[in-house]
Structure formats: C-alpha cells, structure tokens
C-alpha cells in the first residue's frame, strides 16, 4: 500500500499514520488550497504519539478501509501533532469548549476550507458505543449539514470566531496583589484532598504549578495546612502506582483518587516539573523519599529519554507511550506468579511492601494484574531497603526483556527547557555536578541544532537524511528555554547563559508581544496559518508561557537591575487583571512571578578569581526561592544603580550580601550566616 503525505514528516505521531488508507495532509497551505478548490470541509485530527485513545481511534477507524474511503470522499483530511503546533491545538480545543464539549485527544474537528471550526468532538468509536455516536454516522451527518444547511454552518462559524477572539482580549480590572495571591492559595487549598493529596476526586494529575503556589503560601505565612497539602500530595505520588518503582519516573496521571493506577504514558514535562518541585521542598524537609525519587527519576531521564546527535551531544525526548503491543500498561504490570518466579525467596518481602497479590489491584473483580505501589513507609530499616533495592533490580532486568513502550523522539524546546532547569536546580541542591553537566549538554544541543539565523525552533527530529529542526518556536519555547538559561547562569556563574536568556526575551518581545493589549501571544506575529493569535495565561499540564515569561523577566530584572525588564514584567502581569481571585485562579505561575517581582531578593557574592563556591552553594541550597544569585569580582561591571555595585570581598575573603528593595545586609563570609540571612526568602 502506498504511503500518504505524512511519510514526508518528521513527527513520530504523524509518521504513525503514514500507512493509513486515509489521504492525510499535514497542516499547511497545500491542505487549505485543496479544501478551497474542492469545496469540501476539512476533517482535522489532532493528537500526539503517546496518546492511548489516539491509538484506539487510529486502529478502529483510520486503518479501516471503508471508513477511510468515506473520509476521503467527503473531506480533506488533516493531521496535526499537537506538540509540534500547540498554537493550533489551543485554538481548536477552545472552539470545542465553546461548543460545550469536553476537550482532550484525539481532537476531531470539522472546519471550513478556511480553517474555521463549526463542529467537533474527541474520540469517536467506529459504531455507536459508550454513549457516543459512531464515526461513520458523524462523517455522514456533518457532510450533510455542510452541503444542505450551509447558512446554519456559516452562522455557527461566525459565532465561534467572535468568541475565540474574545478569549484573547483584555478585560480592564484590578491588578494582582499579595492579598489576591493569598486568596487564590486559600481557594486552591480547599480543593485539595487532605488525606490523599492532589485535587479531590479522580482522575488525579500532578498539578505542579498549583502545588508550588501552595508551597509559596506556606513559606509566606507558615500555615501548616499549606505545608501538609504539598507534602501529602508528593508523598502519595512518590509512593503510589503513578511512580515507576522499578525504572523511575512518573506517569501522566492516576485514573483513581488513590494515585494507584496510572495512565501509563510518561511525559518529560511532568517529570521535569516534579524534579523541580521535589528539589524545592526537599530543601526544607530533607525528606529521604524526595531525594530518592529525584535521583531515580534523573537516572530514568539519562537512561531512557536522551536523544543523541551524531556530533556527540544529546537532548531529551518528549514521552514514552502508554501502550505496548496495543495494550495499555502491559510493560509495567505484574502477576503474582511472575514476581514469585523472578524473586524466589525475596518475593514475600517485596510483595508485602509493594501490594502484590494473586487477586491484583488494577481492576475491580480481581484481574490478577498488579500495579506496583509502595504500601509500607519509606525508608525502612537499612537492611530491608538493601534487600528491596536488589529485588527491584532483578525485576527491572526481567522487565527489560518485555517489549518496551514506544518513545516519541521529538526534541521540543519548551520541554527541554523545563528539564534543563530541573537538572540545574537539582544539581546544585544535591551537589551533583554531573546533573549540571547534563543540563549544559542539552542546552548546547538546543542552541546548536534548533536555532537558525538567531531564531529558536520548536522541534527537532532525527531522519534518515539527518536531524531536522521544524516549525518556528511558540512563546512557551522561548519562555522555558530562557528560564533554563537563568537557572544555568545561577548554577554555573557563566555570563553566556545570562546573555542568551536576555536575547530570547528580546526575541519574544519582537515576535510575540501583543502590542495592542499587552502580554504575549502564543504564535509569532509572522505566523499566517492560524485563524487567531491566542493570548492566554492559564496553566495546564505545563506552566503558561506568559506566566513563565513574567518570572524570567522578574529574575533578569533582579539580576541586572534593568528597569525596562521590570516594567515589561509588570505589563505582562497587568495584562491579566484580577477582577476577583477567581479571574486568576488558574494562573499560579503568573501569581508566583508577581510575588517574586514584588518580594524577591538578590544574593550578591563578591569573590576574586572565581571564589565563593561555598557561599553560592549555600544560597542555592537554602530553603526558599524568592531570590536570585549574582556573582561579582568586586562590582566594577555592574551599574551604579544595582545593589551589587561596589560590593567587594572582605579582607580578601569571599563575602555574601543579601539585598532587598535596594537595601543590603552586612557582608557574611560563612555559609551558616548566609543561610540565616536568607530565612523567610
């Protein structure tokens, strides 16, 4: 069977569909022109490589010859990898929400030949099932509406377009204040399950930006309920089945409220955010559980998520699939007799510790399938932990003989930025220079292979003819890579990282700033294949681009003293006004950036000849995050308006100064004194 047009693409998701009998087009002018010339509507299907229900719909419908023939007869069929084009995905997800339909993937939308949405849904079975209409019925029904009721379709298009434009418009109102941040933290706390952690009910997602908001709230007021909410959530995740106790790394979410049964796909972005949060919380709690999970998850990233380049560099892949041989979770689950056969005399202790039974724990009624979840406290006695570690390695080796889940090898700039930041932070806090080295290697990969003529690309993928960077960056790519650059600057003291962060901030201003309304748009101003340039600040699975950019601007202002950066950060924050706490309740990253901008401090370390490493480690490893680290050899290269100006070593000894609101502490020369100065920041 001849391959369709997707065979020319580099996205693993699009390549999964190159052998479909559907006459797929990738998104672009070729598809839009074909739709206009034929007069057919567009059937748009959006998904990603590790999406379980995307695979299901592909097997049931897109690989079915009869359904494919119907699609080809009635529609111009277009596939989009949502991870390559998040700016398109958010437009059509928003359109679906305006139709009062739940979103998700696969996203199935019906568009005019100009790309305007008029109806849609998510997964459709081939025939009526699960209370959903069959896909054949949908295909025929929408085609009939298009051909016979064009006026009604056009009316729907106009209403949806106006609503989409309104979603990105500014709404004048009150600005954010610390009182607003406290109120949002309080309402978020009330939504947290006090026993099981996470938001109440099922499914349960990590929701790291919200947990970070709660942690900051605890740091501000030391209210134990905030502390407990974060620690309970992390403890449950780290012990539950959402964590891979053999190979390391967290799954996308738990299908139940107990964090037991995961949706088995592993995403780079979840793991990066959890490494970062666990590192921050560990600085306060010194929890051995978090230290272990950080280390194990980074080991997993090194072992299974690196994408090598022929020049010896590497970056990070996007995700591991949930499915193996068409079966969700098959790679990860265990029957009791399998555990017994591998572990023999070690099996009783392991089964007791990880909840393994003959009945199983995955499905009601006793399927015999077990998701490994630690049911006894960690850590136990050292001898027991040594025995359990040996047992885990034996099971890991046995599992390695199974068919591994597929990997989405795309290198995405924003996801790599998240992981680079996490590795830089964890490397400094846990005194693991190798982790910082890994972060620097990945950063070099992005700047070397994903930048052309100074402009950052969104994705890179290897091909038989060599690696290819595809698609210009969206806002999130610049924001997360700039944040990663700041983290590497603080970890290493190398000014080149600071310069790169500033360059990407300027690029974001040139290409993405919504000059009429303030804030940044997701798509660059020269993107021509979107029906609207969306501007939003809500955190979803990833921190928002606007919220992250506000944090980057705040950190750069504190580091450099450049007032223009502070003013731009304020402009971003003011672009999303807080009419009430509810108006910004889904913007925790923006709220955290506001707190940093208004309350952040500078730790200035003055030392000659690259000294002061002990003070730098103390500053980066001390509890709290409302601070930036600046190294100087005496302040001569820092402007006179900056708190670091004129700060010098003391009697030839490296000295640290803690500056806040333009006022600096007395110099301290030892780590303990510096940590005392940083208390509460």
Q: What is the pLDDT of residue 365?
A: 47
**DSSP structure class, residue 250:** B
pLDDT in tens, 470-486: 999 999 999 999 999 99
C-beta atoms surrounding 534 within 10 Å = 22
- Nearest-10 crossing angle of helices 545-560, 475-492: 30
Rounded Cα–Cα distance for residues 63 and 57 (Å) = 9
Query: Is the CB of residue 43 less than 8 Å from the CB of residue 75?
Result: yes
pLDDT higher than 90, residue 132: no
Rounded Cα–Cα distance for residues 359 and 233 (Å) = 27
Rounded Cα–Cα distance for residues 621 and 672 (Å) = 12
DSSP per-residue codes, 270-303: HHHHHHHHHHHHHHHH--HHHHHHHHHHHHHHHH
Query: Is the CB of residue 28 less than 8 Å from the CB of residue 8?
Result: no
Q: Give, in degrees to the nearest 5, the angle at Cα 414 between 121 and 403.
A: 70
Q: Which helix (H) or strand (E) holds 324?
A: strand 323-324
pLDDT higher than 60, residue 635: no
Q: What is the pLDDT of residue 165?
A: 84
How confident is the prediction for the chain on average, in pLDDT? 93
Q: What is the mean pLDDT of residues 6-19?
A: 94
Q: What is the mean pLDDT of residues 616-634?
A: 92
How do beta strands 468-472 and 455-461 pair?
Answer: antiparallel
Q: What is the pLDDT of residue 637?
A: 55
Name the region of 313 (left: φ>0; alpha: ψ -120 to 50; beta: rest).
Answer: beta
Nearest to 306 by CA among 296, 316, 297, 298: 316
Nearest to 6 by CA among 170, 14, 348: 14
Query: Is the CB of residue 81 less than 8 Å from the CB of residue 19?
Result: no
Name the region of 635 (left: φ>0; alpha: ψ -120 to 50; beta: rest).
Answer: left
- Residue matched to tokens 């990898």: 81
pLDDT in tens, 209-246: 999 999 999 999 989 999 999 999 999 999 999 999 99
- Residue matched to tokens 């490397």: 427
In the chain, the percentage of residues whose pLDDT exceeds 90 is 82
Q: What is the mean pLDDT of residues 634-652?
A: 76
Q: What is the pLDDT of residue 171?
A: 67
Q: What is the pLDDT of residue 661?
A: 86
Residue 494 CA: distances (Å) to CA of 485, 501, 611, 616, 631: 10, 12, 13, 13, 9
Beta carbons within 8 Å of 118's beta carbon, 6+ residues apart: 41, 110, 111, 112, 153, 156, 157, 160
Exposure pattern of 483-506 as b/e (b: 16+ CB <10 Å)?
Answer: bbbbbbbbbbbeeebbebbbbbbe
pLDDT band at 172 (very low <50, low <70, confident <90, very high): low
Class of domain 178-322+408-599: mainly alpha
HEC assignment per residue over 630-661: EEECCCCCCCCCCCCCCCCCECCECEEEEEEC
pLDDT band at 101 (very low <50, low <70, confident <90, very high): confident
pLDDT higher than 60, residue 37: yes
Rounded Cα–Cα distance for residues 12 and 411 (Å) = 11
Q: Give, in degrees to the nearest 5, the angle at Cα 515 between 513 and 520.
A: 30
Q: What is the mean pLDDT of residues 250-272?
A: 96
pLDDT band at 328 (very low <50, low <70, confident <90, very high): confident
pLDDT higher than 80, residue 1: no
CATH 3.30.300.10 for domain 5-167: no
Q: What is the mean pLDDT of residues 347-372?
A: 89
Rounded Cα–Cα distance for residues 349 and 371 (Å) = 16
- Residue matched to tokens 């079915």: 64
Exposure pattern of 635-646 as b/e (b: 16+ CB <10 Å)?
Answer: beebeeebbbbe
Torsion of CA 425, 431, 437, 440, to 10 degrees: 20
SS3 of 452, please? strand
Query: Is the CB of residue 527 less than 8 Å from the CB of residue 533?
Result: yes
Q: What is the pLDDT of residue 364?
A: 54
Query: Is the CB of residue 456 less than 8 Å from the CB of residue 413?
Result: yes
pLDDT higher than 80, residue 11: yes
Beta carbons within 8 Å of 19's beta carbon, 6+ residues apart: 1, 3, 4
Phi, psi of 44 (to 5 degrees): -105, 125
- Residue matched to tokens 């803690």: 658
Higher-pLDDT residue of 575, 129: 575
Lowest mean pLDDT segment, chosen from 138-147, 435-444, 571-580 = 571-580
Beta carbons within 8 Å of 414's beta carbon, 6+ residues apart: 269, 458, 474, 476, 477, 479, 480, 481, 542
Q: Which helix (H) or strand (E) holds 111?
A: strand 107-111
C-alpha radius of gyration, the chain, whole number: 26
pLDDT band at 449 (very low <50, low <70, confident <90, very high): very high
Rounded Cα–Cα distance for residues 43 and 108 (Å) = 7
Query: Is the CB of residue 230 less than 8 Å from the CB of residue 281?
Result: yes
């Amino acid at each position: 069977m001849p391959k369709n047009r997707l065979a020319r693409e580099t996205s693993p998701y699009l390549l999964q569909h190159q052998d479909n009998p559907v006459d797929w087009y990738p998104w672009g002018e070729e598809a839009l022109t074909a739709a206009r010339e034929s007069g057919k509507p567009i059937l748009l299907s959006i998904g990603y490589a590790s999406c379980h229900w995307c695979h299901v719909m592909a097997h049931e419908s897109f690989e079915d010859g009869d359904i494919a023939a119907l699609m080809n007869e009635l529609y111009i069929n277009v596939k989009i990898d949502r991870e390559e084009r998040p700016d398109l995905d958010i437009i059509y997800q928003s359109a679906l929400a305006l139709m009062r339909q739940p979103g998700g993937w696969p996203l199935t939308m019906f568009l005019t030949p100009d790309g305007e949405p008029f109806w849609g849904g998510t997964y459709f079975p081939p025939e009526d099932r699960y209370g959903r209409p069959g896909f054949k019925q949908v295909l025929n029904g929408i085609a009939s509406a298009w051909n016979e009721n064009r006026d009604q379709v056009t009316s729907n298009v106009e209403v949806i377009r106006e609503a989409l434009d309104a979603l990105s418009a500014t709404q004048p109102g009150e600005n954010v204040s610390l009182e607003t941040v406290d109120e949002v933290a309080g309402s978020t706390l009330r939504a947290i399950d006090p026993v099981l952690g996470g938001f109440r009910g099922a499914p349960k997602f990590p929701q790291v930006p919200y947990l970070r908001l709660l942690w900051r709230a605890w740091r501000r007021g030391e209210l134990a309920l905030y502390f407990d909410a974060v620690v309970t959530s992390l403890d449950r995740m780290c012990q539950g089945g959402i964590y891979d106790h053999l190979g390391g790394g967290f799954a996308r979410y738990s299908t139940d409220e107990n964090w037991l049964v995961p949706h088995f796909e592993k995403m780079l972005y979840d793991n990066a955010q959890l490494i970062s949060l666990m590192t921050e919380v560990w600085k306060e709690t010194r929890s051995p559980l978090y230290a272990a999970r950080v280390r194990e998850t980074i080991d997993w990233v090194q072992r299974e998520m690196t994408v090598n380049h022929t020049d010896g560099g590497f970056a990070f892949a996007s995700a591991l699939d949930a499915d193996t041989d068409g079966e969700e979770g098959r790679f990860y689950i265990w029957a009791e007799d399998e555990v017994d056969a591998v572990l023999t005399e070690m099996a009783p202790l392991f089964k007791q510790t990880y909840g393994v039974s003959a009945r199983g724990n995955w499905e009601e009624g006793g399927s015999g399938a077990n998701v490994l979840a630690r049911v006894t406290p960690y850590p136990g006695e050292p001898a027991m932990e040594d025995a359990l570690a040996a047992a885990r390695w034996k099971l890991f080796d046995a599992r390695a003989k199974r068919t591994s889940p597929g990997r989405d090898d795309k290198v995405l700039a924003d996801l790599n930025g998240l992981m680079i930041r996490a590795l830089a932070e964890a490397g400094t806090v846990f005194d693991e220079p190798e982790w910082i080295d890994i972060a620097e290697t990945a950063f070099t990969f992005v700047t070397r292979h994903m930048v052309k003529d100074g402009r950052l690309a969104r994705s890179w993928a290897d091909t038989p003819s060599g690696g290819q960077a595809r698609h210009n960056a969206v806002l999130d790519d610049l924001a997360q890579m700039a944040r990663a650059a700041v983290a590497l600057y603080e970890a290493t003291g190398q000014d080149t990282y600071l310069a790169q962060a500033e360059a990407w901030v300027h690029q974001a201003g040139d290409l993405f700033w919504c000059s009429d309304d303030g804030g940044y748009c997701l798509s660059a101003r020269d993107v021509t294949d979107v029906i609207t340039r969306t501007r939003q600040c809500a955190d979803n699975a990833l921190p928002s681009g606007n919220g992250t950019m506000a944090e980057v601007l705040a950190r750069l202002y504190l580091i450099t003293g450049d007032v223009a950066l502070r003013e731009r950060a304020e402009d971003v924050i003011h672009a999303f006004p807080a009419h009430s706490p509810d108006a910004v309740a889904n913007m925790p990253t923006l709220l955290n950036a506001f707190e940093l901008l208004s309350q952040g401090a500078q730790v200035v370390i003055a030392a000659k000849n690259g000294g002061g490493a002990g003070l730098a480690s103390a500053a980066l490893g001390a509890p709290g995050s409302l601070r930036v680290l600046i190294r100087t050899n005496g302040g001569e290269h820092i402007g006179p308006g900056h708190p670091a100006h004129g700060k010098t070593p003391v009697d030839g000894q490296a000295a640290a100064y803690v500056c806040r609101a333009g006022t600096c502490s007395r110099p301290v020369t030892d780590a303990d004194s510096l940590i005392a100065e940083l208390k509460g920041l």
